[in-house]
Amino acid sequence: MKRIRYAKVLAAAALVLAGLAFILCKSRGPVRYEGQFYDCFDTVTTVTGYAESQEDFSRKVGLLKEKLTWYHRLFDIYHSYDGIHNLKTVNDAAGKEAVEVDAQIMDLLLFAKEMYGKTEGKLNVAYGSVLSLWHQYREEGQKDPAHAKLPPKAELEARAAHTRIEDVVLNEKASTVYLADAQMSLDVGSVGKGYAVQKLAEYAREIGLEHALVSVGGNVCAIGGKADGTPWKVGVENPRPDSGGTYITAVDLASGSIVTSGDYQRYYEVGDARYCHIIDPGTHMPPDYFASVSVQAEDSGIADALSTSLFNMGFEEGLSLVEGMEHVEAMWIGKEGETRYSSGFKVNEEK
C-alpha cells in the first residue's frame, strides 16, 4: 500500500464531529485544521487546510468525504451498491452483456487504456484475474505464515491469457463497458485511487478550499500551498526504516501530487523471500527492482499510474519514460537504500 506522510503539525485540541476526527492547529493568520475520515479505498484520508472556523472546515471535509465515498463505490470490485453500476457490476457481466456506467468510470478506463500504451503494458487494468489469484494466496499466507505458498505458475499463465486490454470494449457514445472475455476482470487498484484524489482536489477548490493538503492512504495532493504562501513539506517514507529513520527525504509541494509504490506495506513472505502486492504483467510475479518508487506530477492519476508502472521497470527504462513526459519527476529507492532521481526531481534539504 502506498504511504507518504507529511510533517507533523502542532495539535492544540482534538474534536469529533459527525463521525469525523479533527485537530485544530494554532498559527498566525488563518486558522489551520486537520481532519480525518475512513472507509474510502480501505485507508485513512487526512485533510489539512485553512478555514475561518472549525465548523466551516468540518463542513467542507464532510463534503469531501461524500465525494470520495462516491468514487470508492464506483471503483469497487468486491461490493455492490443500490442504484450504482460499478466495476463489480461490469466484472459480473463479463462475456454476457455491456453495462451502462457513470461517466467517471468511462473517463477512468479511457485514461487507463492511454496509460497502458504509454507504459507498454506495465499498467493493465484488465489484469484482475491474475491479481485476484495473488490476493488469495497473499491473504492465506498472512493468516498462516508457516504454510504460505506462491500461486502455481501454470495457473498464473492460464489466467494471464484473459487479460487483453483489447477485450475491454468501451462505447463512449452509449457510455457502456463490455468485457469480451467471460474469464477476465477489471482491477483499477493501480490507478483508481489517484484518479479519485485528482477529482477530489478539483472539487475541493469548487467548495472554497484553496489551501490544503490531501492524503488518501499516501496519495498526496496539494491544493495550493499554505496560507502564508510557502509550500507544504511532504516526507518520502523510508521503505527500510530499521536502516535509518522514518523518512528518506522530503519534497516541497505547492500544487500537484506525489505518490509512492513500494514493497513494504502490503506483502507476505514465503520462506525467506518477500512478495509484495504489485505484480508485473510481463512476468506475473512481483518485481524485484526497487524497494519503492515515488512519482511527482501535476495530476494525481498520472502519478499513481506511473508509480506502479515504474516499480515494474528497470531504472533505465523507467527513467527514459519519465524524462519523455512533461511535469513528471521520479525518485527510485533501491533494495539497499540507494536513491536515484530523474533530472528535475528536487528534494527539500531541511532536516
Phi, psi of 267 (to 5 degrees): -160, 170
Average pLDDT score over residue span 233-252: 83
Say yes or no to pLDDT of 120 above 60: yes
* In CATH, 87-179 is 3.40.50.1980: no
19-33, 72-86, 112-126, 253-267: range with lowest mean pLDDT? 19-33
Separation CA 342–CA 318 (nearest Å): 9
Which of the pair, 7 or 320, is modelled with greater confidence? 320
Whole-structure pTM value: 0.88
Q: Residue range 112-137: average pLDDT? A: 97
Give the model confidence (pLDDT) of 126-184 as tens digits. 999 999 999 999 999 999 999 999 999 999 999 999 999 999 999 999 999 999 999 99
Joined grid coordinates for residue 60: 467542507
Over residues 27-37, the pLDDT tens digits come to 455 799 999 99
How much is the pLDDT for 245? 65
At residue 308, the pLDDT reads 96
Do the strands 212-216 and 339-341 form a parallel or antiparallel pair, or are they unpaired? unpaired
Could you tell me what percent of the chain has a pLDDT over 70? 90
For residue 77, count other CB atoms closer than 10 A to its CB: 20
User: Which CB contacts under 8 angstroms, 24+ apart, belong to 117-121?
Assistant: 118/321, 118/325, 119/305, 119/306, 119/309, 119/313, 119/321, 121/165, 121/281, 121/282
pLDDT surpassing 60 at residue 321? yes
The pLDDT, as a whole number, for residue 4 is 36
Lowest mean pLDDT among 19-23, 42-46, 191-195, 277-281: 19-23
What's the pLDDT score for residue 15? 31
Give the whole-number percent of the chain exceeding pLDDT 90: 82
- Is the pLDDT assigned to residue 336 strictly greater than 90? no
pLDDT score, position 239: 83
Grid cell for residue 24: 485544530
Going from N- to C-terminal start, the domains of the chain cover: 87-179
Q: What is the 3-state secondary structure (H, E, C) of the chain?
A: CCCCCECCCCCCEEEEECCEEEEEECCCCCEEEEEEEEEECCEEEEEEEEECCHHHHHHHHHHHHHHHHHHHHHHCCCCCCCCCCCHHHHHHCCCCCCEECCHHHHHHHHHHHHHHHHCCCCCCCCCHHHHHHHHHHHHHHHHCHHHCCCCCHHHHHHHHCCCCHHHEEEECCCCEEEECCCCCCCCCCCCHHHHHHHHHHHHHHHCCCCCEEEEECCEEEEECCCCCCCCEEEEEECCCHHHCCCEEEEEEECCEEEEEEECCCCEEEECCEEEECCCECCCCECCCCCCEEEEEECCHHHHHHHHHHHHCCCHHHHHHHHHCCCCEEEEEECCCCCEEECCCCCCECCC
Residue 244 pLDDT > 80: no
